[in-house]
A = this chain, B = another copy of it.
Amino acid sequence: MKLYDCAMAPNPRRARIFLAEKGIEVPKVEINIVDGENLGPAFLAINPRGLLPTLVLDDGTRFDEVMAICRYFEELYPWRPLLGRTPVERALVECLQRKAEFEGMIAGSEVFRNQHPKFVARSIPGGGAQPIPAIPGLVDRGRQTLARFFDWLEESLTASPWLVGEELTMADITAFCAIDFVAWVDIGIPDSHAATRRWHTRLAARPSASA
């Protein structure tokens, strides 16, 4: 198998941290998103949507969504679980990692892509080579959503050291990657959000953070 990756991009990082926390090594191929290598003919032949990360199995089966890749490895290598230990925990991880994805990662992507000159025709990912114009109104909407995201995180992490259960799960990984991503557009954890700052420091100190 091969994991098509992009070292600086936030979604591939979610998969890399997940794999590092489980101690799984997968051969990687680096693709440069900023320069548009993911929308060039060579990569579009592998994934017509141009999305990263993409996992291709030896028989050619392709998984082009972070959570599909993580779910696949969680089934193959159940230990150490990062998607929850019980049916209730697994459903909560699904809810909260998705909330972190929509209100953190995707809101951040709205702010970043709709104001960055390199993404002027790539307003959302997944369109392949078809131009998708930037929509400046999404920048403010994204910022508004991120403010909610930070308040929700602070409330959750004041109540408990991790977002779901007694230890790190994918919900934390997605929220952590979203925070480091939105730093690109100069949005950070508000100074008053002490619990979130402590949690971020703990996550940043784990070896997986540099995966």
Contact = CB atoms under 8 A, between A and B. Distances in A.
Interface string A37-66: 000000000000100000001000111110
A29 interface: no
Contact of A141 (B94, B98, B135, B141): B135
A90 B68 CA distance: 8
A196 interface: no
A160 interface: no
A135 B132 contact: no
User: Within the oligomer, what is the number of copies of this chain?
Assistant: 2
A114 B27 CA distance: 43
Interface string A166-185: 00000000000000000000
> Number of contact residues on A: which range applies?
35 or more
Contact of A67 (B94, B102, B128, B132): B94
A71 B91 CA distance: 7
A107 B68 CA distance: 21
A69 interface: yes
A137 interface: yes
B127 A132 contact: no
Given A71-B94, A88-B57, A123 B141 contact: yes
Contacts of A75: 87, 90
A92 B132 contact: no
Contact of A135 (B65, B88, B98, B135): B135
A87 B72 CA distance: 6
Interface string A77-112: 000000000011011101100110011000000000
B87 A63 contact: no
A126 interface: yes
Nearest to A48: B152
A84 to B, nearest CB: 10
Contacts of A76: 87
